[in-house]
Amino acid sequence: MSGELHQMGVAALASALRERKLSAVEAAQHHLARIRQHQDLGSFVALDEDAALARARDADALLAAGNAPALAGVPIAHKDIFATTDFPTTAGSRILAGYRSPFDATVVRKLAEAGAVTLGKLSCDEFAMGSANENVAVPAVGFDHAVPVRNPWDTTRIPGGSSGGSAAAVAARLVPAATGTDTGGSIRQPASFCGVTGIKPTYGRASRYGMVAFASSLDQAGPLARSAEDCALLLSAMCGPDPERDSTSLDKPAEDFSRSLGASLEGLRIGVPKEFLGDGVAPGVRAAIEAALAEYEKLGARRVEVSLPLTELSIPVYYVLAAAEASSNLSRFDGVKFGHRASNYRDLADMYAKTREEGFGDEVKRRIMIGTYVLSHGYYDAYYLQAQKVRRMIADDFQQAFAHCDLIAGPAAPTVAWKLGEHGGDPVADYLADIFTLPGSLAGLPGMSLPVGFDGGMPVGLQLIGNYFGEAKLLNAAHRFQQATDWHQRTPEGY
Ligand code: GLN
Q: To 10 degrees, the CA torsion angle through 185, 488, 476, 303?
A: 80
Over 80: is that where the pLDDT of 52 sits? yes
Give 310 Cα–ligand 1 centroid separation in angstroms.
19
Residues 6+ apart with CB under 8 A from 97: 90, 138, 339, 340
pLDDT digits (tens, 9 = 90+) for 261-308: 999 999 999 999 999 999 999 999 999 999 999 999 999 999 999 999
Q: What is the pLDDT of residues 151-205, one digit of tens each?
A: 999 999 999 999 999 999 999 999 999 999 999 999 999 999 999 999 999 999 9
Count structural domains, the chain: 1
pLDDT of residue 338: 81
185 CA to centre of ligand 1 in angstroms: 6
Q: What residue type is 489 in one-letter code? A: Q
Q: Write down the catalytic residue from 186, 227, 236, 258.
A: 186
Look at residue 258 and tell me if it is in a domain: yes
Please give the number of the atom of ligand 1 that sits closest to the Cα of 214: 9
- Is the residue at 199 inside a domain? yes
Which tens digits make up the pLDDT trace of 325-382? 999 999 999 999 888 999 999 999 999 999 999 999 999 999 999 999 999 999 999 9
Distance 278 CA to ligand 1 centre (A): 22
Residue 308 lies in a domain: no
Can 216 be counted among the known catalytic residues?
A: no
Among 415, 352, 384, which residue's Cα sits nearest to residue 192? Answer: 415
Backbone angles phi, psi at 181, to 5 degrees: -130, 155
What's the CATH number where 164 sits?
A: 3.90.1300.10
Q: Which of 79, 110, 200, 473 is catalytic?
A: 79
Q: Is 357 inside any structural domain?
A: no
Q: Strand pairing partners for 223?
A: 179
Query: What number is the average pLDDT over the span 417-424?
Result: 95
Q: How far is the CA of 132 from the centre of ligand 1 (A)?
A: 9
Identify the domain containing residue 160 by its residue range. Answer: 2-266
pLDDT digits (tens, 9 = 90+) for 213-267: 999 999 999 999 999 999 999 999 999 999 999 999 999 998 999 998 999 999 9
What is the reported pLDDT for 255? 94
360, part of any domain: no
Pocket test for ligand 1, best of 162, 193, 428 (most atoms within 8 A of CB): 162
Q: For the chain, what is the mean pLDDT?
A: 97
pLDDT at 3 (0 to 100)? 56
- With a threshold of 0.75, does the pTM exceed it? yes
Q: Which atom of ligand 1 is nearest to the CA of 182?
A: 8
Predicted local confidence at residue 326, as pLDDT: 98
370 is a domain residue: no
* Residue 162 a catalytic site member: yes
- 15 among known catalytic residues: no
Whether 2 has a pLDDT exceeding 50, the answer reads no
Instruction: Look at residue 467 and tell me if it is in a domain.
Output: no
Number of the ligand 1 atom closest to the C-alpha atom of 431: 1
In this structure, is residue 455 part of a structural domain? no
